[in-house]
Each structure stands twice: as C-alpha cells, then as structure tokens.
Structure 1
Amino acid sequence: MTSLGARVVLAASNAARKVGQSLDSLGKSMEVVKYSERLVPSTRFVAVDGLPPTVSTNTAFVAPNASVIGDVTLGKDASVWYGATVRGDVHKVVIGENTSVGDRAVIHVAKIQGDFPSIIGNNVTIGPGAIVHAATLKDSCVVAASAQVLDGAVVESNSIVAAGSVVTPGTVVAAGQYWAGNPAKMVRKVSEEELQLMASNALDTLELARMHAYECDKDLEQLTKDEEAYEDATTRDPEYFQPSPDGQKDEGDVLGQGSPGLIFDSVLTNPEEGLKFNQKKKAAQKE
C-alpha cells in the first residue's frame, strides 16, 4: 500500500507539473511584450579555481556592486568602492591596510605577457576610474582619477601619479616625486603640504568607508524604521509632541509607553488637533 501511495503521489505531482508548464507556456504566448526575468548572481566576492578572496574581518568597506575576484587579499581598513573591480584570476593581488580603491577603478594582474602580480601597500589612494595593471604601489602613494599604472611599473612611497597620466610598463616612479602626462614623466617633488593632504585624505576616506559600510549593512527592518523616522521628522508639526531621543524616557513614563497625558492627547481623543495639523500642512504646501 505504501508503494502504491508513493506511485500515486509521484504520478499526480508529475501531472501537476506538466499542467503548470502548459499554463505557463500559454501565458507566455498571450503576452504582448515578452519578458523573462533572470536572477543575476552576486559578483561581490568570487572564487577562481576554488580560490576565494581573503578579506580581513576588519576591512572597512566593499561596495555591494564592487567585484573582488580570485586570489585577492584585502587588509585591515581597506575599502573597495562602487563599481570597482579587483581581479586576481591569473596572479595574486595584495592590498594593504587603509588603502582605498575608488569608484570604477580596476586592479588586475598579468600572466600571459609577463608575470606580474599587483602589490599595493598601506595608506594608498587609488582614484576613481584608475587602472593598476600588474604593478606595485608602495606605501602612502596616490594614483589619481583615471590614471594608469601598467605592467611591471613601480610607484614608490609618498609619490603622486596625476589624474589621467599613464605610467608605462617597467617604469619606476621614485619616492616623493610628482609624475604627470602620457607617457608620465617627473614634473617636480611632492610638497610637504601635499604629503599632509595625502595622509588626511586617507583618514577621511576611511571614516567615509565606515559610514557607507554601516548604511549598506542595514536590513529591511532597519531601512523601514529609518524611512518612518524621516517621514515623521519631515511631516510632524514642530508645535506638536516630539518623540524623545533614542534611549531616553519621557518624564512620567509608564511601562515604557510614554506619559499618560501624551498617550491620550492624540487625534483620536482630540480631533481638533488633527484638524489643526491638516490645515497647517495644506497651508505649507500652498506656499
């Protein structure tokens, strides 16, 4: 009997599946505008040949739409910003502490024409749209927006590669120098003021990264609460009862529900309060 029941259930489920598929096909044929929705897998962290990225538990921020792929090591307080790609598929990428990879920047490696990893030190700032391809960046240097540092090149500590510049393969940018142009050439020494600004910008970026990480890690419940709080703050009449700051109780609080006079002093028991509020709201909209 058990075997017979299992066969009946199996036959019924197969029949139901076929009926469902037939109905789905019929629905598709009746559509005016055909559309197929597909689930796109996340590319935030991707393993290559079974080797996933190594990300410090204290990494400051990796944007939801950034891609960290393969043999990549991210150090403490590092940040990878929106749309950036760090790809260690044919060689390794090592990114040190408090280093930021700007929006849409690309970090890659070389294996076919030359054999170079990308090694990036501590306190390095890589600007938005920059490309670091199989190169080495020492500590506390800056590769500005849309600049390129190509295969086998080395940028020494406390140096700056100006925006839009191209450091050609095998070039060495000496410590404390400012390079610009295509191909990039030394322009001058980096000033003390620029060195201080570089250090300050690295710290500012770290604080900003932590803020973005906090916001991006919020779940649906917290986002809903934030939206409700924002709506309340923008619509509540300043003359009406204001909510207490988080963690503070009202004077006369009863069982965590607020003061009795404020609990019952609402538009339900005092409709005129609601009428006044709506009148003020309409007047404000007209203005």
Structure 2
Amino acid sequence: MNERNYDSNHHLFAPFISPNPITSFNPIQRYPKIDETAFISPFSSVIGDVRITDNVYVAPNVSIRADEGTPFYIGSNTNLQDGVILHGLLNKFVSVGGKRYSIYIGSEVSIAHGALIHGPCYIGKKTFVGFNSIVYNAIIEEGTFIAYNAVVTNGVRIPAKRFVPPGAHIDTQEKANALPEVSGDEEKFAQGVQSVNQEFPAAYNNLLFGSHCCSCGMPYSH
C-alpha cells in the first residue's frame, strides 16, 4: 500500500493527521495508515491507529479519532460524509478475520452527513448509514440500509440487507430480527450515492495535489 505524506507544501489544505497521544491506557503512539488513492478533506482529523484503504473519501469536518478505542479500519471505496464522527470505547472490540477492532467498516459503505459511528461496532460492505444516525455497540451485516435519525445499539446484530426505518430505535435483537428487507428503491439510492462518492477521491486529489497547484498547495487555473 502506497501512502501520501501531507507535507508543508500542502499545508493550506492539510487535514489534521497525527498519532494518538500517549496515555496510561494507550502508552504507544501509532500513526494512521492512509492509502495514497484515498482523500482526506480539509478540516477533517484522523488520529491514531486508523487504516484507510484505497479510494476512500473523507469529506470536510469528519472526525476519525482512535485515541481511546482502537484500531479502526475503513474499507475500499467507502465514503464518510460531512460531519461524520468515528470514536470507540476503551477495550471494547469486534472480531474480524481473527483480529480485534474498535470500529471495522467494510468496502463500499456510505456514512451520510452527521452520522455517529461509535465502537465497538462492525459495518458490513455496501451498507448505507443515513443522516444523523447513530450506530453504537452493534453488528451491521452487509447491504443494510439505515435511514436518517435512526439508532442501532445495545449489542444487536442487524441481518444482511435489512431496512432500518427513519427514526427507529433498534436496541433489542427481537427488533433487529423483525426488520423488513431492503427494497429496490433503497438499493438504487445507495448505489447512486456510491457512484457519486467513488469519483471524489481521484477528483479532489487531482484538484489539490495535481499539476495545477502552486508550491503553497493552492489550486489555480490558467
């Protein structure tokens, strides 16, 4: 995996990327690992043991903070939209492939504006998490559609390709098992969001790190 260095030449656009602070509960500093094809927007922060893989898009004002719960993993072609927060509880984990994570987000996931993803949690591939929703202490299997203002918590497991209605509070396994399947319209909407956001990493990287930048990192046109 190739990774970009956010050097001083691009300081005007550089997000805040740093290791975790040294504390009694996290005494070792670990730096984020960010694939060079990913894009981390200005005014966003990535702290600690965070693995961001290929073609991930992190929009402005996103906070990815692995200073308590750790590590985090974000799979390929995933997008974290404006105002999304990722944080996790100390020593609480999900297990994926024999490794423990505070937060694990699979590939082609869309986390919409203002959502909170709080570990321990697992979000399977091709899941959509809607505006201002909360996922905390939960397992979300692939292809799930969580609508806006919903809450999923209390250790529940959402089966694959289920629909969580707007404003729903899913805090028991009984509620989770009773959820309806995702409809064709919801699948189409999620696919559309993916289609748009998968173009952003390359486009923004070209804008801010391509040939049309002066030495200060400011883009310009002819």
TM range (shorter): 0.7 to 0.9
2:126 is matched with which residue: 140, 146, 167? 140
Are 1:201 and 2:193 an aligned pair? yes
Report if aligned partners of 2:117, 2:136 keep a CA contact under 8 Å in 1. yes
1:87 is matched with which residue: 48, 65, 87? 65
Q: TM-score, normalised by structure 2?
A: 0.75
Higher helix share: 1
Aligned-pair distance for 1:118? 0.3
Are 1:126 and 2:138 an aligned pair? no
1:44-93 CA-partner distances (Å, limit 9, x unpaired):
2111242100111222x110211011000001111111000111123110
Are 1:58 and 2:43 an aligned pair? no
Q: How does 1:4-153 map to 2 (within 5 A)?
A: 44-48=16-20, 49-59=28-38, 61-90=39-68, 91-111=70-90, 114-115=92-93, 117-134=102-119, 135-151=121-137, 153=138
Q: In structure 2, give the amino acid aligned to 1:212.
A: Y
Q: What secondary structure does 2:169 align onto?
A: coil
**How many residue pairs are counted as aligned between the two chains?**
183
Aligned-pair distance for 1:146? 0.5
Q: What secondary structure does 1:211 align onto?
A: helix
What do you get for the CA RMSD once the two structures are aligned?
2.1
Q: What percentage of residue pairs aligned between the two structures are identical?
A: 22
1:12-64 CA-partner distances (Å, limit 9, x unpaired):
xxxxxxxxxxxxxxxxxxxxxxxxxxxxxx652111242100111222x1102
- Gaps spanning 5+ residues in structure 2: where? 1-13, 21-27, 95-101
Compare CA radii of gyration and give the structure with the larger one.
Answer: 1
- Gaps spanning 5+ residues in structure 1: where? 1-41, 230-287
1:161 is matched with which residue: 146, 155, 167? 146
- Which structure has the higher relative contact order (CA within 8 Å, separation 6+)? 2
